[in-house]
């Protein structure tokens, strides 16, 4: 099976490579230098030459706050135009496409329950709007696809909330973290394993949600990250910590347990991750 990973230098792209290396599976992995997904001719030529059978589309613009201003055009170019190019190329060569999306496609107005894959969408920031348009491009131009929505992603490679908290803890005795945004953290290892699980087990094509099980606020997440330190973590409201992009107050998505995949609890996943990076 010929595998292609886009966004090879990103947080998930590197996790995918690590997982496939462990399994002894061969693959092609390209960053933006090796494959500019926004260049349709380059994408078509690459796919015609290499004819991948499975494409883990991890390339994305993820600077959520910058997407509201200076990065708005690039956000759309990468997450929508680039995804459309990949989807059309997959269709031409008959490849299966796995597109990673986000909880930000929902409005985040709920206070309880779980967002189902087919629930109404209502993105309230530019990043969410672009990722939803990317989903629509995948559904429009590609027959064999999986759309996998995730949230609060962290992992060994790249910048993320866990590393931010650990680094801040080195020089601060007290930290404040918002406690009125509720969601599900996701370890990149869990996400990578779910992506390969869908392919390996020939799960029905469609839209799925993947996070670690359970739910928490960013404050509770930070407390768990720093539980073995002396740092005092205090809760604050989102109003006290304004950001350029709207952040949903509630974005708990229903996990795709009907697939047979076992989603580790978020605390267990975090503990395993922290033991590895330490």
Which domain CATH number covers 256? 3.40.50.720
Q: Is 244 domain-assigned?
A: no
pLDDT of residue 185: 98
The Cα 243–Cα 247 span in angstroms is 8
Q: Is 220 domain-assigned?
A: no
pLDDT of residue 160: 96
Q: Is 246 domain-assigned?
A: no
pTM over 0.95: yes
Q: Is 88 domain-assigned?
A: yes
Q: Is 96 domain-assigned?
A: yes
The closest alpha carbon to 84, from 27, 145, 126, belongs to 145
pLDDT of residue 62: 96
pLDDT of residue 278: 81
H or E element at residue 132: helix 126-141
pLDDT tens over the chain, length 278 residues: 999 999 999 999 999 999 999 999 999 999 999 999 999 999 999 999 999 999 999 999 999 999 999 999 999 999 999 999 999 999 999 999 999 999 999 999 888 999 999 999 999 999 999 999 999 999 999 999 999 999 999 999 989 999 999 999 999 999 999 999 999 999 999 999 999 999 999 999 999 999 999 999 999 999 999 999 999 999 999 999 899 999 999 999 999 999 999 999 999 999 999 999 98
Q: Is 270 domain-assigned?
A: no
Residue 97, phi then psi, degrees to nearest 5: -110, 130
Count the domains in the chain: 1
Our answer to whether residue 127 is catalytic in this structure is yes
pLDDT of residue 111: 87
Question: Whole domain around residue 205: which residue ranges?
Answer: 1-159+183-214+251-264
The Cα 37–Cα 43 span in angstroms is 6
Residue 77 to residues 37, 50, 67, 80, 253, Cα–Cα distance (Å): 9, 24, 11, 6, 27
Q: Is 62 domain-assigned?
A: yes
Q: Is 223 domain-assigned?
A: no
**Two structure tokens written together for 91:** 């269709």
Q: Which of 56, 61, 127, 154 is catalytic?
A: 127
């Amino acid at each position: 099976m010929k595998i292609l990973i886009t966004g090879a230098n990103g947080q998930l792209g590197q996790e995918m490579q690590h997982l496939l290396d462990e399994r002894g599976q061969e693959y092609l992995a390209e960053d933006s230098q090796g494959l500019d997904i926004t260049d349709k001719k380059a994408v078509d030529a690459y796919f015609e030459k290499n004819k991948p059978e499975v494409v883990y589309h991890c390339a994305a613009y993820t600077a959520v706050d910058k997407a509201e201003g200076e990065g708005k055009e690039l956000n759309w170019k990468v997450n929508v135009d680039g995804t459309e190019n990949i989807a059309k190329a997959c269709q031409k060569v008959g490849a299966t496409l796995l597109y990673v999306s986000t909880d930000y496609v929902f409005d985040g107005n709920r206070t309880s329950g779980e967002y189902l894959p087919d629930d109404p969408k209502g993105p309230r920031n530019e990043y969410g709007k672009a990722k939803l348009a990317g989903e629509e491009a995948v559904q429009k131009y590609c027959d064999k696809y999986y759309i996998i929505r995730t949230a609060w992603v962290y992992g060994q490679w790249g910048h993320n909330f866990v590393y931010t908290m650990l680094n801040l803890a080195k020089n601060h005795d007290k930290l404040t973290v918002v406690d009125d945004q509720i969601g599900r953290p996701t370890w990149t290892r869990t996400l990578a394993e779910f992506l390969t699980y869908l392919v390996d087990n020939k799960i029905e094509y469609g839209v799925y949600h993947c996070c670690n099980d359970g739910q928490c606020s960013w404050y509770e997440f930070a407390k768990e990250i720093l539980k073995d330190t002396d740092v005092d973590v205090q809760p604050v409201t989102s109003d006290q910590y304004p950001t350029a992009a709207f952040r949903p107050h509630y974005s708990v998505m229903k996990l795709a347990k009907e697939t047979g995949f076992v989603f580790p609890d978020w605390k267990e996943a975090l503990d395993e991750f922290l033991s590895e990076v330490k």
